[in-house]
Structure 1
Amino acid sequence: MTIRCETRDDGANLVIAVIGELRLTDTVPLRERLLKCLAEQPGALLVDLTGLHVEQAPSLAVFTAVLRQAARWPGTPVLLYGPPAQTRRLLLAGAFRRLPLYDDRAGAIAHLHDERRSRPSVIDQLLPVSGSARHARDVATEACLRWDLPHLVAPASLIATELVANVIDHVHTMMTLHLTLRPRYLHVAVRDGSPVPPDPPGKIRPETAGGRGLLLVGELAHSWGWLPSKDGKVVWASLRR
C-alpha cells in the first residue's frame, strides 16, 4: 500500500490521517481501515487529508463507499478536511462534490457542534453465558420504552436476543451490546472478540439453540450487516423509527 494511516482519539471523536499517494490498488485496504474505525462507533470520524495526494480521481470513491456504510450503520458523521490543492480540486468535481469536505479540522469540528443532534445510547458488557440473552432482551425493551418507541419493543428485543445468543453459541467471548437512537433508525449492535464473519442467514438452521439466529434478524431489520473491529467484529441491525 502506497499510503499509511495514523489514528488518534481526541476524546469525543476518532481522527485518522491518510498520508501518501492514493492509488486504485489502495482503495480496498483503505476502505477496510476506515470501516474498522466506524466499528468503534466514535462520536464522529474525522479524516485528515492534509498529507494525501491523488492522481486517479476514481480512487476517491473509497470515501463515498465509507459514507454510504456510515449512513446505514452506525450513523456516525464522517467529515473530510484539509486536502492539498490537487486533491481538493478532484473532491470538488463530479460525483465527489457532495462529500462533507472542510478546509481544516476547526471547520469540521464547528460543523459537528452546529449540526450534531442528541444521540441517546445504551451500552452493556455481557458474559458469554445463557442468561446474557435474556438480559439483552430486557435492556432493549427498557431502552425502547425510555425513548418512547413501544412499537419497536418486540423487534428490538428479539434482535438483541439473537445477536447475543449467536455470540454465546458460536463465539464464546465477552461482548458489548450497544443500542443507539438516530433520527431515522434505532441501531442494535453486538461486538465480540472473534474476527470470524457471521454465517449468512441461509446457513442458520431454525432449530439452533439461539432460535432462528440471523435469519430472524434479517426478517425483522430494515438492514443488517457486520464490520471488522480492532479486536473482533460488530454485527449490527437497524430498525426504522
Structure 2
Amino acid sequence: MSGSLSFSAEDDDAGCRVLTATGTLDRKSAPKLRLTLLKALAEQPAAVLVDLARVRLTDPLALTVFTAVGRQAAMWPGIPVALCAPAPVLAAALSRGIHRRLPVHPSVVAARADIARRHVPPQTVSDELLPVAGAARHARDLVTDACVRWEIPHLVFPASLAVSELVSNAVQHARTMVTLRLSLRPRHLLVAVQDGSPDEPVIRPTPGPSADGRDGGRGLPLVAALALHWGSLPTAGGKVVWASFPLGDPAGDA
C-alpha cells in the first residue's frame, strides 16, 4: 500500500532551511518530496538540510528524486543540499550508485557543521523592482555595477541582456513586484528573477525588438542563447526564473 509524506520547515540562525519529512517514501510520494525540495531551493537559503529520520523507504526507485534535486541545486541556486539522519535501510540505499550525488550525514547538526566548514557564502546583490516600464533598465544597471565590482566585466553584456529580458517578461506577464538576485559563485554568475505569477515561462518565437525599441521584446530564446543554463522553479507565491553564466573569460582563454 502506498504511503504519504508530510513536511515541516524552519530556518536556522545560519540561514539554512531545515526540512523534516515524516512518512513513507515510494513512487507515489516522491513527486511531493521533489516539489517540496524544489520550492525550498527557489527560496535561495544558505543550504537545504533534509531530516530523514522519520522516513521509511519502501521503493528504492523513489530515490531518483534526490538525484534530480541534486542536479538542479548544482545548476541553480548553487547551494548545498544535505540528507540527514536516514534510517539504516534508507542510508544503505542512498550509499549506492547514482543516489550518492547528495552528501549524507548522521544528523542535522553534523550536516550544518560540515557546510559551515566547507562552503563560503557567496557575494550577492538583490533588489525589489516595481512592475513598471523602467524596471528592465534598472535591472541592467544593477547587473553592470555588480559585474564591474566583482571583476567580471566580460559578463556585463550577456548577463545584463538576459536579466533585461527576464524582468521585462515578469513586468509584462506577471504584473507583480519583481525580485532580482545576483550571486557570484566560484565558477558561475547566477541570476534569478522572482515574481508573483505561478505560470511557467514559455519559449515563443522571437518577435524582434519591443514596440518602444528599448526594453525586452526578444524573449526567452535570447536568454537560452546567452546563458549556460536557465530554467524556472515554483515558489510559495509564484515562480523564479534563473540563468547561469560561466566566469571564464573567452578572451582570456584565447
TM-score under structure 2 length normalisation: 0.91
Cα distance in 2 for partners of 1:5, 1:76 equals 20
**Displacement of 1:67:** 0.6
Is it true that 1:225 corresponds to 2:228 in the alignment? no
- Report the CA distance between 1:208 and its aligned residue: 4.1
Contact 2:122 2:185 in 1 (8 A): yes
Q: Percent identity?
A: 48
CA distance in 2, matches of 1:126, 1:94: 44
Question: Which residue of the other structure, out of 197, 200, 211, is the alignment partner of 2:217?
Answer: 211
Q: Deviations over 1:130-177 (max 9, x none)?
A: 111110000000000010001001111111111111111111100100
For 2:163 and 2:94, locate their aligned partners in 1 and report how far apart those are by CA, in whole Å: 39
Measured in 1, the distance between the counterparts of 2:132 and 2:98 equals 48
What's the secondary structure of 1:97's corresponding residue?
helix
Instruction: Give the paired residue count.
Output: 240
Please name the residue that 1:169 is paired with: 172
Runs of 4+ in 1 over 6 A off after TM superposition: none
Counterpart of 1:81 (choices 60, 80, 84) is 84
CA RMSD of aligned residues (A): 1.3
State the match for 1:31 in structure 2.
Answer: 34
TM-superposition CA deviations, 1:48-103 (whole Å, max 9, x none): 00101102111111111101000011101101110111111111223323430000
Q: Distance in 2 between matches of 1:99 and 1:168?
A: 36
- CA shift for structure 1 position 5: 1.2
- SS for the counterpart of 1:195 is coil
Give the secondary structure class of the aligned counterpart of 1:24.
coil
Q: What letter is aligned with 2:184?
A: L
- Cα distance in 1 for partners of 2:23, 2:236 equals 23
Matching of residue 6 in structure 1 with residue 5 in structure 2: no
Q: What amino acid sits opposite 2:80 in the alignment? A: P
Q: How does 1:91-130 map to 2 (within 5 A)?
A: 91-130=94-133
CA contact (8 A) 2:130 2:178 kept: yes
Query: Residue 56 in 1 paired to residue 59 in 2?
Result: yes
2:64 is matched by which residue type in structure 1? A
Letter in 2 for 1:103: P
| Corresponding residue for residue 245 of structure 2 | 239
